[in-house]
Amino acid sequence: MRQIVLDTETTGIDPKEGHRIIEIGCVELMNRRLTGRTYHRYLKPDRLIDEEAIQVHGITNEFLDDKPRFKEIQDEFLHFIRGADLVIHNAAFDVGFIDNELNLNDHQERVHDFCQVTDTLAIARKKHPGQKNNLDALCRRYGIDNSHRELHGALLDSEILADVYLMLTGGQKNLMLAGEEDGDDGVDQIRRLDTSAMNLRVLRADAQELDAHSGYIGRLDSKGGSIWSQVGVQSPEAE
């Protein structure tokens, strides 16, 4: 499964008011593993950035003067995301801006025509109703370090969102790194620790501890049939 975690920065909050995309950041996941492939572009919007937006992402009009326009990078961007599941926080915002850019360039397709979209904000609201579910709040909730995030940035935020998404949807269950080989049966190989050099002591319960345990199980088994009473405990003398 190929997923693209995506984020954008913009000149303002509403494309209907003429606001444009000024930064796109994407990271690629394959089967819930980071592949190392990214896509990142700053874009010249041909309009001024709202001062409130500059305070959020720190991108200035002067910085974007020599950057390409969306039309110039459109084909490479669509090639990178086409056919993927786009993982986006508050997807309606970013998808709306991308669709607006495509419309301005007379491109007939829209994002939903060639990508599936997964909204992590919707997932978070369902999983944590009544709580804050912005990216910073989710990082605190899941113990993800975002201390280097002083300002919003599309690539940085997409990298953080990739970690949040994996935790939000059940944690990172596959511990192999991208590029490592799977087993022939499609199941990832488990790396066993070499314990041959370890001197591990095994402490057995003594008779007094076993009696105390039996008494406790008896109290649990007041109605009979408890599974615990069916589990035999081997005495130290039996070894």
Residue 196, C-beta contacts closer than 8 angstroms, at least 6 positions apart: none
Instruction: Report the amino acid identity of residue 158.
Output: S
Cα-only R_g, the chain: 27
Q: How far apart are CA 213 and CA 45, in angstroms?
A: 73
**Closest alpha carbon to 124 in 89, 85, 153:** 89
**In 3-state terms, the chain is what percent helix, strand and coil (to 5)?**
40, 15, 45
Which one of 40, 107, 128, 152 is the catalytic residue?
Answer: 152
DSSP structure string for 48-106: PPPHHHHHHH---TTTTTTSPPHHHHHHHHHHHHTTSEEEETTHHHHHHHHHHHHHHTT
Rounded CA separation 102/11 (Å): 17
152 annotated active-site: yes
Strand partners, 117: 86
- Give the residue from 107, 87, 114, 110 showing the smallest Cα distance to 99: 110
Active site members: 152
